[in-house]
Structure 1
Amino acid sequence: MVDMPPGSPTVQEADEAFTPSKHPLVPVESSLNLDVELKLPLDDGDGDEIDFNGIDEDLRRFQTDDIVRQALSQGVDLRGYSRDIETELREVEMDSVREYVSQSDKVLELHNEIQGCDAILARMQEMLLGFQADLGGISDEIRHLQDESISLNVRLKNRRAAEARLAKFLENVLIPPELASAICGDEVNERYLDRLVELNSKLRYVLQTGPVGDGSSLDVAPADTMTAREVRPHLEKLRAKACARARDYLLSRISELRKPKTNVQIIQKTALLKYKYLVQFLSENAPETAEEVRNVYIESMGRTIYNLFRAYQAQLAKLELEIATKTDLIAVEEAAVRAMFTNKVDLTKRGDAFTLGERDKILDMVEAAPILVHVAQAEGSRLPYEVVLRSVLKHLVDSATSEYLFTLEFFRGQSRDTFHRIFERTTALCVENLETYLFASHDAIGLLLMIKLTHAYRLVMQRRRIPVLEAFFDRFNVLLWPRFKMVFDANLRSVSGATPRKLGTVELTPHYVTRRYAEFAASLLALHSGLDSLVLGIGGEEMLINDRYFRLSLQIHGKKSQVVFLINNYDQVLTVFHERRIMADETTKFEELLAHERESFVEEELKQRYARLIAFVQANESLPEGGGVDEALVEGLVRDFAATWKSALEAINQDVLASFSNFRNGMEILKQVLTQLLLFYTRFQEIIRRHWRKQPSFAKDLVSTNAILVEIKKYSTFYAV
């Protein structure tokens, strides 16, 4: 069945419209002619002329048509052609009408079917309109249900949020039975600390007077809620119970620190630091109890450390070795050290107070372990006081480091005050013991070593970033520096005020004052590095150089012996300085003095054996040629030198070896004497050559310089071997 478009005529209507009987006044043929005949009026009936503007365009379009163009090319008459076309159209129309009439039954049947379909479609339309009305109601209901669902979802979220806040509030306020039983009955252990943290959290919560930031109190101060007011008395009881148990536990553990032979650090780590939250809990909830615990710890730990250091220093004092007494000065008179029942005294044997030796190795042992007293006693050791002090300071800085770190973690904000109160008696004990030692100390080297040790341990504490002993080190320096200056000045005064004839026997060998001064100066200069505030004896060395040595040498008879004495003493000082590798202004001064006295000895030695020869050279060297030179005198000098020069060299060699205790120094002086002798004899020969153009009769007795050089080399080679 063919669907008809809306508003289309039915089949019957269409049949009636095309039936000729319906229009008797218009024959079919005439109706067709109306369409065929074309009239081209020149106006449109209103007197207006027809517009031919578009006819040219139509003509051009017709010319492009293939059929029209072909007809025109063949000369076809368009009018006849038009009539033929109309005839054919009329025939086709008649055939269509006849065909339509022959099919009228089928058209009628189709018309009926279409009407039936229209009725069905009408009923379906009614049903669909009913469905549309029902769906509209359902849509409104669905929209209503959706709104209800959104509203319920919002209320559900609000209730859940309120439930979460309320649950958190109840969690922060209510006291679980297991919490109460744990606080009151459980053993103090790590689990107990967890319960204590929970209790402290609840106490903080119920005491808040403003809204909680997490919203658990529903923007109401917890302290203003009825629940908090009801629970607070029970929490207060639990807090009191917890504070009492924390106090009992801490005091019981602190009391163990007082027991003899107790490992304090083990108790601190396992029994106190592990439960440091107990102190924090007491500080927040019972400040008086927390202060009581701190005071008990300070008293207990302070007494323990004090007793340990007192016993340790008392044991070390038994091992102390006295290095110097008040008579151990650079220059000391015999009467000051002479024994009561004897007149013999050996001032050369006591030099420990001035010799550094290996005592400075103590500065490399700053981080070494302290002395074990029982081991030192078993070995029969005797220790200088700086060794004792190093062990005490090492114990002190290690104990101070450990205790400060403990108090910093255990007592937090009160760590520094706690530390100073614990070590107050101990540091006072160390200062008191040092004062006792310094009262009778005359060991300048030991004092300087102790100053450097104090400085070294100050640096140790600074590297550890624990500056809690600065005041203690300052007190040590205040005691050590004045005593060192007093001892140092006493040695200088001993030199400046001594009477040479009372300083013992003066021989050609180095004097004991020289050895003491050399060792003392070398020791202080070696330790001077790093101590810029030390001014080493301004003027002290000048007194020794310009006054004491000269006055001591005057006790020796003979100019040459006095020069030998000065050379030996200056060489002794330089030998000690070189052994200690002292490179200072003092070294340069003594080197200059030694060089000057060597020149003096060479002059005295040659004058003793060749005074006439030297005097002749010095007197006649500047005379012109042909001047008045005494030939007999020259001949005598030549023959005398030729006869004695070898024996003179041997005598000079023996004299030098006997005069100078230092072999190297003697060899240098021997070389200078022989070299100077060779120079004088060469100058003597030059005078002879200038005044005698012809060789004089005594020329055969002149000794060649080569022969003298060969002999000098023999001595050099012999001593080199």
Structure 2
Amino acid sequence: MSRSAYFPRNDQQEQATPHHHLQHRISRRSISKHQNADIHRPPRMEILSQILNPEWEIGSSETEDVDMGPIKSYFADPDAITDVSSLQELLFLSTLNEDYAMTAEDYDAQFAKFTHYHETIQQARVFLKPLFDYLLNFEKELTKLSAEMEFLQKRSNALNEQIEDKKQIDLKLTPIVNDLAIPPEIVRSLVNDDITSKWIENLRFISEKKELYEKYANEYGEFKSLVELRKVLELMTLKAVERVRDFIIRKIKLLRVNGISSQVVQKDLLDVREIYPFLQQHNTNLAQELRQAYVYTMRWYYHQSFVKYLYSLERLNTVHVDKIALLGSNDDEYVNNSGFGFLNIYSHSGTASTSSSLSTSKGNGKHTLYQNDYLNLGKRGQIISLEDQTVIIGQIAETSQMTYWLETGFRNFNLALLDNVSVEYLFLSEFFQLSNFEQVNDLFKIVFQPTLSVGINYTRSLIAETYDVYGVLICIRLSQALEYELQHRRVPVLEDYFNLQMITLWPKFQKIIDANCDSMRKVISKSSSFFSSAHSSMGSNSSMPLALTQQFGKLLSGLLNLTTNTVFETEQNEPLSSSIIRLRNDFESVLTKISNNLGKDSRKKELFLYNNYFLILTILNEIEGKLADPEREHFQTLVKAYEPRLPK
């Protein structure tokens, strides 16, 4: 730094006092002269060192509170300046330019300035001393803290190693502990909770623990904790068996309560279906006894229920069809009081007014149903393919005032039986875990044998004294449809029952066909006496179709219509096909014998046969079906054979 920065230059003073006329000049003589002037005075270097004491010597006892008085008096003495001999003074003066000389006033000014700086520095030192103390203390604390952190680091490393070791141990031991441990909440749930689908988890827990214990026993042997846990698990198993036994017994007892639905009880059991395999695994004898108790309870339940339902069905107003429905039956009004008659009115629909009546009974009540209503099949066949699978309720059956045919009771009883059998079959298979059909079939026979006997006896009572050929055939078709429904539901256990129903119904159907054939043959004897006494008065009426023909046409139409409502394709060798052929042959034989009583006029005989066959053909033209086609072709051939020739 130049001297001008510390000592401002005065040009006038420079001109007045050139550097070679300096008032005070330092010389070796003056330095040596004043070197020993005052032996008691401290060396100037020491004084200057005290004044310019560095900041890092703050707090030194030697430099605190320096007395500036001697220094001021020393520099104020002009002789002292000329006697300066310190190296610092010499170094300082050597930095000045040669053309510059300082006066005493300049030195005083600079000294005052430095004194001010010194005081400022001293004040700063006073303020900085606490910071300096704090930093010194901080350094000590930092050193201490560093040592502590180093200790903690070593301790942390040791703990990390221990944690890692424990972690490895946990990885190996935790699965084993979890496999062996039995939580207390599982035990409480097993003992106290209700048996529901959630409670079944306790049984799964017991089964899983047994498998795990066997695994560890084979792998590590019977160690002490495993033996103790086995005892706890055995107690839990015994308690579970006890609770399952009580639950099943309670449900079986409910089935004997009046008005309880078996499906409600079965649903409760199916919701916890895993209890029976668990019981069978841990106590086979008890499981078999409970199954037997259930089977015989349901045997009683179904028998009682269907007996009550059958009692209600027997209260229905069922039409009783007797011999009056047979072809050519004796009815005075219908045969014009002679046992034989002609149709006075013929229409395309084949309707004719008759007053022959059938009786319906319910208790002591009597109802009338005309024979014409019976021969017209109408909508009776729709019951075979009825989509509504509901059955009539017992209370409604007992109080209903409507009139029903015999197939109504047959359908309701057997459809209700089918529904219950399906539900019971599925329950036996699912709850008792029976995959073998023979086992399920054996249990089914025990449960339903009395009920099936009731159904067969009911069918026999329905058809015992009836001549309702439609009703019997509809019952056969219903049996076939219900048997098909069994296959659709995959419940084969009831096939034998419906086969037995058809074995009962087909012979009855053929007997009614035989009765109709016999009744038609009786017309021949009536016609002989009728034509011999009234031939001359009949006139042209002798060629009109017989009332018997319309009866036969309606009966044949009804039987053929019932072949189109079957689920399965009707085979040609079915008893219905042979019965229709036999009935048709007897009818043609009767017509031929009757035509022989019309005299020797062949034209009149042919016209008579033509009109009767044409009536049958007209009725058959409205029918479609597998068996209707050959019958229609047969009567078309007869109509063409007897078609009257037009006169020339």
Shorter-chain TM-score bucket reads 0.5 to 0.7
1:554 match: 596
Amino acid paired to 1:405:
L
Amino acid paired to 2:510:
K
Match of 1:370, SS state, is coil
CA deviation vs aligned residue, 1:286-308 (integer Å, no higher than 9, x gap): 22222222222222333222222
Match of 1:437, SS state, is helix
Rounded Cα–Cα distance in structure 2 between residues aligned with 1:543 and 1:178: 85
Amino acid paired to 1:291:
Q
> 5+ unaligned residues in a row in structure 2: which ranges?
1-157, 342-353, 357-370, 532-540
Is 1:567 matched with 2:577?
A: no
Is 1:481 matched with 2:506?
A: yes
Identical pairs, percent: 23
Amino acid paired to 2:612:
N
Give 1:170 shift.
2.3
2:481 match: 456
Rounded Cα–Cα distance in structure 2 between residues aligned with 1:218 and 1:401: 47
Question: Structure 1 residues 482 and 541, CA, compared in 2 at 3 Å: closer, same or farther?
Answer: closer
1:198 match: 205
1:244 match: 242
Q: Residue 293 of structure 2: which of 290, 293, 296 is its match?
A: 296
Question: Structure 1 residues 162 and 546, CA, compared in 2 at 3 Å: closer, same or farther?
Answer: closer
Give 1:161 shift.
5.1
Is 1:445 matched with 2:487?
A: no
Report if the CA contact (8 A) 1:276-1:410 is conserved.
yes
Rounded Cα–Cα distance in structure 2 between residues aligned with 1:375 and 1:295: 35
Rounded Cα–Cα distance in structure 2 between residues aligned with 1:261 and 1:241: 32
Rounded Cα–Cα distance in structure 1 between residues aligned with 2:308 and 2:332: 38
Rounded Cα–Cα distance in structure 2 between residues aligned with 1:528 and 1:433: 25
Give 1:225 shift.
4.3
Is 1:578 matched with 2:621?
A: yes
Amino acid paired to 2:440:
R
1:416 match: 440
Match of 2:592, SS state, is helix
Rounded Cα–Cα distance in structure 2 between residues aligned with 1:375 and 1:345: 43
Report if the CA contact (8 A) 1:495-1:543 is conserved.
no
Rounded Cα–Cα distance in structure 1 between residues aligned with 2:529 and 2:418: 48
Match of 1:321, SS state, is strand
Higher helix proportion? 1
Q: Residue 267 of structure 1: which of 247, 253, 265 is its match?
A: 265
CA deviation vs aligned residue, 1:71-90 (integer Å, no higher than 9, x gap): xxxxxxxxxxxxxxxxxxxx
Question: Structure 1 residues 503 and 194, CA, compared in 2 at 3 Å: closer, same or farther?
Answer: farther
Question: Structure 1 residues 157 and 231, CA, compared in 2 at 3 Å: closer, same or farther?
Answer: closer
Match of 1:262, SS state, is coil
Describe how 1:506-525 pairs up with structure 2 within 5 A.
508=542, 509-525=544-560
Question: Structure 1 residues 162 and 454, CA, compared in 2 at 3 Å: closer, same or farther?
Answer: same
Question: Structure 1 residues 504 and 363, CA, compared in 2 at 3 Å: closer, same or farther?
Answer: farther
Q: Residue 312 of structure 2: which of 309, 315, 331 is its match?
A: 315
1:536 match: 578
Question: Structure 1 residues 167 and 233, CA, compared in 2 at 3 Å: closer, same or farther?
Answer: closer
Match of 2:638, SS state, is helix
Q: Residue 358 of structure 1: which of 379, 392, 407 is its match?
A: 379
Give 1:538 shift.
6.7
Amino acid paired to 1:273:
L
Match of 1:482, SS state, is helix
Report if the CA contact (8 A) 1:302-1:422 is conserved.
yes
Rounded Cα–Cα distance in structure 1 between residues aligned with 2:550 and 2:529: 14
Amino acid paired to 1:519:
K
Rounded Cα–Cα distance in structure 2 between residues aligned with 1:483 and 1:591: 31
Greater relative CO, 1 or 2 (CA 8 Å, sep 6+): 2
Question: Structure 1 residues 585 and 177, CA, compared in 2 at 3 Å: closer, same or farther?
Answer: closer
Report if the CA contact (8 A) 2:316-2:400 is conserved.
no
Give 1:256 shift.
1.6
1:389 match: 410
Amino acid paired to 1:537:
S
Indicate the larger mover: 279-288 or 295-304. 295-304
Rounded Cα–Cα distance in structure 2 between residues aligned with 1:504 and 1:157: 119
Report if the CA contact (8 A) 2:318-2:405 is conserved.
yes
Question: Structure 1 residues 424 and 220, CA, compared in 2 at 3 Å: closer, same or farther?
Answer: farther
Give 1:345 shift.
7.4
1:183 match: 190
Give the alignment's TM-score, normalised by structure 1: 0.54
Amino acid paired to 1:468:
V
Number of residue equivalences: 437
1:613 match: none
CA deviation vs aligned residue, 1:547-567 (integer Å, no higher than 9, x gap): 211211233457355444333
Give 1:219 shift.
1.8
Rounded Cα–Cα distance in structure 1 between residues aligned with 2:313 and 2:293: 30
Match of 1:413, SS state, is coil
Match of 1:430, SS state, is helix
Give 1:449 shift.
1.3
Rounded Cα–Cα distance in structure 1 between residues aligned with 2:252 and 2:581: 59
Report if the CA contact (8 A) 2:180-2:229 is conserved.
no
Rounded Cα–Cα distance in structure 2 between residues aligned with 1:177 and 1:392: 54
Question: Structure 1 residues 232 and 569, CA, compared in 2 at 3 Å: closer, same or farther?
Answer: same
Report if the CA contact (8 A) 2:302-2:451 is conserved.
yes
Root mean square deviation, CA, Å: 3.7
2:450 match: 425
Give 1:425 shift.
2.3
Match of 1:188, SS state, is coil
